[in-house]
Amino acid sequence: MRHFILALFLASPLAAQEIETDLELVLLADASGSIDAGELAFQRQSYATAITDPAVVAAIENTLYGSIAVTYVEWATNQATVVDWTVITDMDSATRFANALIGPPRQANGRNAIGSALLYGMAQIENNDIRGFRRVIDFSGDSMGNTFGPPIT
């Protein structure tokens, strides 16, 4: 009996607590060869400005859970998570996320691989320890060309 209780305790999910939030948001940004350094910086700065807008932060604070979880991924032939999942609850956490966007170098290169990028974004949502009421991929790209990887459909 003692072994059964120990096995039951070791198999319990107590150590792996999920974070509950209103939204899991993957910001999936184009970093393919058609995006120059200025355009890449513009994408990052725009997301940073948006997430720290006082109206956006107030909207986050007034959700049912009072939080969202967001990650920033660049895509091209490869995909790269530039800023890992961050729970945003207030202006301080929004500012930390925004600041993390600005510094890193480009992390994805090559041609358009939209199908691969979307699958990567979906995997980011499915394989995290966050349980969002809503799950969204915000996709940015400058064309519908899909020259590498699985089809968009």
Confidence band for 109, pLDDT divided at 50, 70 and 90 = confident
User: What's the CA gap between 40 and 38, in Å, rounded?
Assistant: 5
State the helix-helix crossing angle for 37-51 and 54-61, rounded to 10 degrees: 50
- Tell me the whole-structure pTM to 2 decimals: 0.84
List of domains in the chain: 27-139 (3.40.50.410)
Residue 102: name the closest of 48, 50, 57 by CA: 48
- pLDDT tens per residue, range 68-98: 999 999 998 889 999 999 999 999 999 999 9
Distance, CA of 72 to CA of 111 (rounded, Å): 19
